[in-house]
Structure 1
């Protein structure tokens, strides 16, 4: 059972990393396409575009929770 849990944890981290990279690529593509058509963005958001995006906060929080759960299982389950 513990080996299965470790494999699921690794798969979850791979999915998380892949979706984060995909989100960055789509974000760049959309920003390039809409750069001429979009309205002016607030200066604070222009200075820190990634810090003000809730999707990236969700990725960071999900990654930290996943790592915490994996470490918890790794140290609490006897091999």
Structure 2
């Protein structure tokens, strides 16, 4: 396995583990709300609605990784 694949694997595992703990903490926070379904959106999220949106972040990160693959294979194919 090449060094790039190893780095990509480690980065992917880090994202998965971080996402697991983040989701776990959000789930615990929902249990503590106890029926308060319509809580107020935090001010930081209101100010940066697009930056804090996980769907947009996913598309941006995917595009960046895809671009890295294209550049990597373009350099290797020379």
- TM-score range (shorter-chain normalised) is 0.5 to 0.7
Q: Measure how far apart 1:37 and its partner are.
A: 8.4
Aligned counterpart in structure 2 of residue 72 of structure 1, from 41, 47, 70: 70
TM-score, reference length from structure 2: 0.54
Structure 2 gap segments, 5+ residues each: 42-48
Residue aligning to 2:19: 20
Residue aligning to 2:31: 32
Cα RMSD for the two superposed structures: 3.5
Q: Distance in 1 between matches of 2:15 and 2:60?
A: 8
- Give per-residue Cα distances to partners, 1:18-62, cap 9 Å, x unaligned: 2112211110011112x13868426xx7xxxxxx79262475156
Q: Which consecutive segments of 4 or more residues in structure 1 shift more than 3 A? A: 36-40
Structure 1 gap segments, 5+ residues each: 46-51
Number of aligned residue pairs: give it: 67
TM-score, reference length from structure 1: 0.54
Residue aligning to 1:54: 52
Q: Which has the higher contact order (CA 8 A, sep 6+)?
A: 1
